[in-house]
Structure 1
């Protein structure tokens, strides 16, 4: 979800993009149509799709992306406040509606939150929006005061006449500014004058989350609303065969049974009644064609597929010939399991279907896609469907999917009342859209200088892009599946990466906090450690030699080494491991310190992360995101695994799909490297970097090379 969109969609011409935005009614970035909206009878200066200034001087920023814990509802308003010259205390935010006006220009105008692209995509458009609004307020003040605009400046919330010192509040200029034409080519601030960007700012959404006022999808309450719980076929592709409706309807509070092809929903006055009604309904299913599928079968198919030649993702030099002639080479296979998203907020969606319209209250990463799928399910036009977006209690890619929105629309269509559909945790884990199982074959040859002279990497797994963005498949290559693997960051002269698509029978796969880099960096950085060991070299020194001349890469590696006291002894059963990555536009190095008990249990004691993500907007948010991503990644390397037997997902809740607990969480230290480069992504790099760092630390502690995730204690006891 990163380079595939950036590369493909960046080819859109600027003119074509602006024409598309105008056709959609958005007028994105350029060609804004200012207007004086009304709020409680007061004029509101709305120069574009993003800024709403009222007569009190308060500015509401209409957010084109969705807040799911990543901090964008603070960082992006910081950008507006910087260029518009506002105090953060006068800035609020609101959700955007579905519409192309809020499409991410880095993603070709698609309205989507994902791929660590929120800041990257909207940094410059938001600077332009803020600067343009400031200029229009100054023009309005010049006209009101009868002075030359060049005699004016601003300070937070005011236009100031320099000679007289007279200050005019922004709010008093809202109506006059609304009558002006939007100027083009407004100059932006010199970054050396920034007073907000680059400083840690308290999050604007924290207070309401703490006091309970913040509204997530699951908090929705609509007059007359009913609650539905769902049971879908335990086997993907199965169908509903029978329901004991009479027994279910005898449960107090149960109002209705809604049947779908592969599921049944019990609609009731409240969740507990619906839950009891579903138990009484005792639905039965025909398992369908995938009833015998098991993880072992899937892995065997992937292993067999890995013996085939794949679609070429990158070919430089002649890796095959160098490997064939080499006497010093290494080969390995790596496996990574299916993973569930397990977001803190269970899947939910509230829908009210009326004769000629539909309202949907939901937390989604794709408002436009949600609107379209609901309209299709209900036989309506998209403009008949209104999406009321809410904060997300975790997304990680799960809410890029719209399966649950389609399901909720089909259920609500059968009810005269609004219906909130809530999945149980068991339904969530056993009917997720999973991170694919991947099987990698990788090999390398060492030259006389002990550096990799050749490198081949075959990636085998499901293609999410073929389903989600089919037009982005090129010559059989899924660009996301090879993201992070096909870039040759270490500059190896003979370099080859190919991809074999192998779909697991019936199992839906989806993006999981940056699928490509999250899984590819584990393989690459683990195998590079294997080569360093084969060469008898220190892992950090080995990477430094390969990255010579790359100042940003060396900067983060050296900082992580310094933070971790790299090279000093740790004691028995302990080890350090390092990883480096340049993905999502961000450079990062991580060092993990682990202890492995005699029983083979791994405890991550400390993580040191050095990050150069370009210009840091809000350093506090960057640190928080890395902490979150690191915890998410440690969960994956130590616990994360979805397995199937008899066509059924075996895990069902947090007792057997374990999340890293607070007493097992490491101390995490983050160093943010100051940079003037364009902002990079930060939501996903923490996850992709920690997995190989832990794996390499386990090797340092035990001598056991973990090539299959998650790590099992029994595999480490034999060291």
Structure 2
């Protein structure tokens, strides 16, 4: 557990959580260079209703200007603009909590709105518009605290001027300024005057012990809208005169059209246009534009198309795996290069191949983008993780300047990385269709929608990977040499991210999570074959396969040397790995591991992993029923430093565990035959059902350090913990995903 930790450093809400838990206890590099690479240009900041235009303080960046982020209405309602995409991770609540804390707002009067591609809303660490890498709270924690503190200082100054008193005599509490003699005034009455004041450059921030909002388990601002069906997502965009487009895409990535018979499609009632358009990766497609989704679908179904696939590679999953196995045995680029001489004489050894298939992101809301063209201007609505880069791509396609394109970021129904595409594929496609329609005389906003089948077959998958390990160790589990190879496509090669991610021919996203935090002597070889399959980051990126390999092999060494898997991990972790130890110990303590007798046929499984600067440990209970794996209970120990909203952390870890489970169950794979994706919908690309979901108990290690990421770290350790439990039940280690017990 943590040492030298003083619980009194925490906000009162977290202190109370510690007291509650004690009663039940059982004993990334900065990306500012992206601005240069992408050529991001500035846009003028807008003004916001309820706050008048203010003087911009010298030396303050757009990201530091409170007027871009805080709108206070006359009735005192505070609207916080968030600089990220909200797509289920809870940032629409977490960021307002941080700002409202320093603003001293009345939380009952706080709401949120989405941002745009305005430069005020870039990630202050990455230097670009980006929702990803579990960085929203981590990167904007100090930013949003300072924004709230600046707005509060301006409100105090406005009140001091109103009452003609010294500002030092004033205090704030729950959306009001309190003055001498019992005076008080609401923020809403001061907002306009405050907005006209200079923005202070430097502000004092609260001592965390004074927090009243941060650290409190808080319901989500958007919970009512989402639970009642009133939340509008990107796919719900409705503009006057709007039309809907669906695209017929080639069966093999990159293929082009040989012939098009559109007569039957044009005869469908409501069809306005049939357009031949360029698609991603040099492909061609046919867009059917109609006055609604159903008519567009009927029109697309009526098309008679012939495709030319002669010049494109036709990937076959079985042949691809055989090729990957060959590559794993060949020399390649080296990430680590320890001496492998001890391998030959090691008393014990493990040789293993691990296979990870392509995976679709499969968010509940399929991809979509609405484009409205006017003379010399364009406006877009979509749920995007990279609105700035998408706006640049849109301007390029439409022949406009960047400041002629306005990007409205809509709430998205999931994404898991699919809405952060370096090629901007779905946004570019929507712009190509809007441009072609206008050239054909169709003047209307056009919403391009992907069907569920389009989404599953449309590419940008988690890459297929093969891992090969040969480990030599002794009778007490000392690893003498670990020879390891990874084969899989590079995610970032050929993209604007390549200069930062690819080094010495190795994509860092493929190797993250290897070796650390265990000090093994490892030789790591990496191959990045090129395949005609578009690939992309998938929730937790490299860790969704590297964690499985590392944590199952560590467990296997523990079993072969007859050691308790928790004790073995604790022995491997150095005294510097305080957060790993704390998360693992918390999960062990809360689960009853080693102290509680499990039901017959069940076994414990353990795994711990760090990604995006947060550590999650799982202790699970699992069994096999009728030849199928069953996960019964999951206990999580989480170390993400300061818990801004413990309820959101709990939800994110539970969601990560569920998505981790999705990799394990039969049907969780994208496969190819003759270049064609064999899956098309949830009938053949399986996701867990409610009956598959185990009980998931989440416990947070208390900390007063600045928060780290939590959107992705809950996923990686679930599959290895589950596999380790099943290995104890069956006596056989699991090597492939999804699991194959027979």
* TM-score with structure 2 setting the length: 0.89
Per the alignment, residue 613 of structure 2 pairs with: 585
Task: Summarize deviations over 1:395-416 as a string: whole Å, max 9, x none.
Answer: 1001112211111111111222
133-142 or 245-254: which moved more?
133-142
Alignment of 1:427-446 (within 5 A): 427-446=454-473
Q: Is residue 2:647 matched to residue 1:620?
A: yes
Measure, in 2, the Cα distance between the counterparts of 1:260 and 1:491: 53
Q: What is the distance in 2 between the residues matched to 1:367 and 1:11?
A: 17
SS at match of 1:576: strand
1:490 maps onto 2:518 in alignment: yes
Alpha-carbon spacing, 1:602–1:249, altered in 2? closer, same or farther (3 Å): same
Aligned residues: 686
Does residue 104 (structure 1) correspond to residue 123 (structure 2)? The answer is yes
Identify the residue that residue 357 of structure 1 maps to in structure 2.
Answer: 377
Identify if the C-alpha distance between structure 1 residues 192 and 453 changes in structure 2 by more than 3 Å, giving closer, same or farther: farther
Q: Is the 8 A contact 2:672 2:678 kept in 1?
A: yes
Relative to structure 1, the CA distance from residue 503 to residue 575 in structure 2 (aligned partners, 3 Å threshold; closer, same or farther) is farther
Distance 2:67 2:342 in 1: 57
Alpha-carbon distance between aligned partners in 1 of 2:690 and 2:336, rounded to the nearest angstrom: 41
Please state how far the C-alpha of 1:449 moved relative to its aligned partner: 4.0
Give 1:509's aligned residue: 535
Aligned position for 2:353: 333
Instruction: Say yes or no: does 1:201 pair with 2:221.
Output: no
Mapped pair 1:372 → 2:389: no
* In structure 2, C-alpha distance between the alignment counterparts of 1:187 and 1:667, rounded to whole Å: 43
State how far apart, in whole Å, the 2-side matches of 1:705 and 1:98 are. 48
8 Å contact kept, 1:51–1:59: yes
Backbone CA RMSD of aligned residues? 2.1
**How much has 1:328 moved relative to structure 2?**
2.4
Between the aligned partners of 2:652 and 2:132, the Cα distance in structure 1 is 14
Change (3 A) 1:38 1:205: closer
Structure 2 distance, partners of 1:448, 1:11, is 49
Within a 5 Å distance, the mapping from 1:232-631 to structure 2 comes to 232-261=249-278, 262-290=284-312, 292-315=314-337, 318-401=338-421, 402-415=424-437, 416-447=443-474, 449-468=476-495, 469-472=497-500, 473-485=502-514, 488-492=516-520, 494-504=521-531, 506-549=532-575, 550-567=577-594, 568-597=596-625, 599-631=626-658
Partner SS, residue 9 of structure 1: coil
Q: 2-side partners of 1:544 and 1:329: how far apart?
A: 21
Does the 8 Å CA contact 1:397/1:512 hold for their aligned counterparts?
Answer: yes
Q: Are the aligned partners of 1:319 and 1:455 in contact in 2 as well (CA < 8 Å)?
A: no
Query: Which of 89, 96, 100 is the matching residue for 1:77?
Result: 96
Aligned-partner SS, 1:61: strand
Q: Please say if 1:693 is aligned against 2:721.
A: yes
Distance (whole Å) between structure 1 residues aligned to residue 490 and residue 48 of structure 2: 48
CA distance in 1, matches of 2:343, 2:118: 52
Q: Does structure 2 retain, via aligned residues, the 8 Å contact 1:485–1:520?
A: yes
Q: Deviations over 1:416-465 (max 9, x none)?
A: 22111111111111112100001112232224642223333322211111
How far the C-alpha of 1:115 sits from its partner, in A, is 1.0
CA contact (8 A) 1:353 1:409 kept: no
| Contact kept? 2:82, 2:112, Cα under 8 Å | yes
Q: Residues of 1 paired with 2:124 and 2:216: CA distance?
A: 26
Q: Residue 309 of structure 1: SS of its match in structure 2? A: coil
Query: Kindly tell me: are residues 88 and 265 of structure 1, through their superposed partners in 2, closer, same or farther at Cα, counting changes over 3 Å?
Result: same
Partner residue of 1:702? 730
Q: Paired residue for 1:29? A: none
Contact 1:238–1:285, Cα closer than 8 Å, also in 2: yes
Determine the structure 1 residue equivalent to 2:696. Answer: 668
Distance in 2 (CA, whole Å) between partners of 1:186 and 1:38 is 23
What is the correspondence of 1:11-26 to structure 2 with a 5 Å cutoff?
24=42
Which stretch has the larger CA shift, 607-616 or 415-424? 415-424
Superposed, 1:192-231 pairs within 5 Å as 192-231=209-248
- 1:701: how far off? 1.1
Q: Deviations over 1:345-398 (max 9, x none)?
A: 111111122331212111111101111111122222222211122110111001
State whether structure 2 residue 86 is matched by structure 1 residue 67. yes
Q: Give SS of 2:311's match.
A: helix
Deviation at 1:38, TM superposition (A): 5.8
* Contact in 1 for aligned 2:49/2:71 (Cα 8 Å): no
- Matched-pair contact (CA < 8 Å) for 1:240–1:260: no
Deviation digits for residues 443-496 of structure 1, max 9, x if unmatched? 32224642223333322211111133121222112111111115x20233x233
- Would the alpha carbon gap of residues 502 and 292 (structure 1) be closer, same or farther in structure 2, given more than 3 Å must change? closer
SS in 2 for 1:276: helix
Q: How many angstroms apart in 1 are the aligned matches of 2:198 and 2:523?
A: 54
Alignment-derived partner of residue 686 in structure 2:
658
Q: Are the counterparts in 2 of residues 573 and 702 from structure 1 also a CA contact under 8 Å?
A: no
Q: Distance in 1 between matches of 2:302 and 2:188?
A: 60
Q: Hey, what's the Cα distance between the residues in 1 that align with 2:291 and 2:257? A: 24
Does structure 2 retain, via aligned residues, the 8 Å contact 1:333–1:440? Answer: yes
- Alignment of 1:680 with 2:681, yes or no, is no
Aligned partners of 2:48 and 2:68 also within 8 Å = no
**Counterparts of 2:227 and 2:690, CA distance in 1:** 19
Which residue of 676, 681, 685 corresponds with 1:648? 676
Residue 283 of structure 1: how far off its partner (Å): 2.0
SS in 2 for 1:400: coil
Q: Do the aligned partners of residues 47 and 571 (structure 1) sit closer, same or farther apart at CA in structure 2, a change above 3 Å counting?
A: closer
Provide the C-alpha distance between the structure 2 equivalents of 1:451 and 1:38, rounded to a whole number of angstroms: 62
The reply on whether 1:156 has 2:145 as its aligned counterpart is no
Deviation at 1:525, TM superposition (A): 0.5
**Residues 117 and 407 in structure 2, CA contact (< 8 A), matched pair in contact too:** yes
1:25 CA displacement? 5.7
Partners of 1:114 and 1:131 in 2: how far apart?
26
Please tell me whether the aligned partners of residues 235 and 288 of structure 1 are also in contact (alpha carbons under 8 angstroms): no
Q: What's the offset of the Cα at 1:584?
A: 1.2
Kept after mapping to 2: 8 A contact 1:44/1:174? no
For structure 1, the residue ranges without an aligned partner over 5 or more in a row are 1-5, 27-32
